[in-house]
Every structure is written in C-alpha cells, then in structure tokens.
C-alpha cells in the first residue's frame, strides 16, 4: 500500500481530503516530494482526484461509501445541496438523481468528476443559508442541504417557473400531497423575504395560503 494512502486512512474518517491535508500529514516533506506521493497514489488507483486539490480514497482501500453531498459542499462554495438533489435526499421524489445540483452565491459552475457531474446555480437571496440544514453523515462529517420547501422554491427561482401553488409541484415533481401537507409554518417563516426572485416569492405565498400554514 502506498505511503500516502496509509496516512490518509489513519487521518480521515470520511476518505475525503485536500492537498492541504496531505501537506499537514507530511510536515517535513518538500512540496515536490508531496506531489510525487500524490501522483504515485493516484497512479496505483488507491486515491481518486475529484478536482484539483480534492481527493478521496478508492473503495479498494477504504470501503466506506464516499458521500456525494459532502463532496458537493467541498468542490465549490459557499454552496448547499438543493433542487432535485435535496428532494431526493429527503425522500420527497421517487427518482434517483444522478447529478448533484447545489445553489451558490458565486458564479454558476459545473464540474465533471469521477463521481459524476456537480452543478452549481446562482440564486440571489439574503441570507444564502436561510432554510438550510446541516445533515450529519458521521461524527466528523456533515453537509449543508436545503429543506424540502427551500429546494422547491429554488427550482422555481432557478428555472423561472410561474408556479403559484401545490398542483404543479405534485404533477411536475411527483411529490406526494401528504409531504406538502407536512410543511410547517416555520418552514415558510424561514424563507420570508429571502428571495430576490418574484416568482419564488409568489410561489411561497401562494402555497402557504393554499396549505393554510
């Protein structure tokens, strides 16, 4: 097993790490020698490069499943997992989502990685993290994800949809009416006045009135 692989196994519980982490594990090594260790680990297949400076251990040496959502937060930020990716995480839509979509306050970006495509859409809102949860993967790993209501509002804002209530949510996204009914007044309160998008604001107000929340 590669020397760097052994270091990564000993120092990470998620299997995900950055080049900065590698430098801290090898404090006495020169940068060229650190790069050489990285290249050897990549060539051996024990380590996978997600993007420049971000890596994870392969399944052959680290059997724990690498979290796509944790990767999404690390690839580009500030960001949180949203749209259909968040709805799938919460179990609100029946389809598996193969590409991970997040919302950011920065420029829209797209990254094609060994873990699939990670897309980042920009939605103007203040504050960005209103209605965002911190989901725990393990004792040492977590990621930011939109609540179901925020994920739907993000879909409306990102795609310029003229939705004013629950019917298109049920027909287009195949969300169960019972899930919409489970929304609380607090879910709506968290998003009050957050969106710059008029369509998102109209949708939230219309759905809230419809559900009597």
User: pLDDT tens per residue, the chain (213 residues)?
Assistant: 888 999 999 999 889 999 999 999 999 989 999 999 999 999 999 999 999 999 999 998 998 888 999 999 999 999 999 999 999 999 999 877 789 999 999 999 999 999 899 999 999 999 999 999 999 987 778 999 999 999 999 999 999 999 999 999 999 999 999 999 999 999 999 999 999 999 999 999 999 999 999
Which domains, and CATH codes, for the chain? 3-57 (no CATH), 68-211 (3.30.460)
Distance CA 76, CA 203 (A): 28
In the block, tokens 């196994």 appear at 9
pLDDT for 137: 86
pLDDT recorded at residue 8: 94
CA dihedral angle for residue 123, residue 128, residue 133, residue 135, rounded to 10 degrees: 80
Q: Specify whether the CB–CB gap between 211 and 180 falls below 8 A.
A: yes
């Amino acid at each position: 097993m590669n020397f760097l692989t052994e270091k990564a196994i000993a120092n990470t519980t998620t299997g995900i790490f950055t080049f900065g982490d590698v430098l801290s594990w090898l404090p006495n090594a020169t940068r060229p020698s650190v790069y050489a260790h990285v290249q050897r680990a990549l060539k051996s297949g024990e380590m996978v490069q997600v993007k420049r400076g971000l890596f994870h251990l392969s399944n052959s040496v680290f059997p724990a499943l690498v979290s796509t959502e944790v990767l999404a937060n690390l690839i580009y930020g500030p960001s949180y997992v949203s749209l259909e990716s968040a709805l799938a995480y919460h179990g609100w839509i029946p389809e598996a989502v193969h590409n991970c979509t997040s919302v950011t306050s920065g420029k829209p970006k797209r990254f094609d990685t060994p873990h699939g495509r990670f897309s980042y859409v920009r939605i103007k809102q203040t504050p960005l993290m209103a209605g965002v949860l911190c989901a725990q993967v393990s004792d040492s790993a977590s990621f930011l994800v939109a609540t179901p209501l925020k994920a739907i509002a993000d879909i409306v804002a990102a795609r310029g949809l003229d939705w004013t209530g629950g019917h298109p949510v049920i027909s287009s996204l195949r969300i169960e009416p019972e899930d919409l009914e489970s929304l609380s007044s607090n879910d709506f309160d968290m998003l009050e006045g957050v969106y710059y998008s008029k369509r998102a604001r109209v949708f939230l107000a219309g759905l809230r009135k419809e559900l009597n929340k």
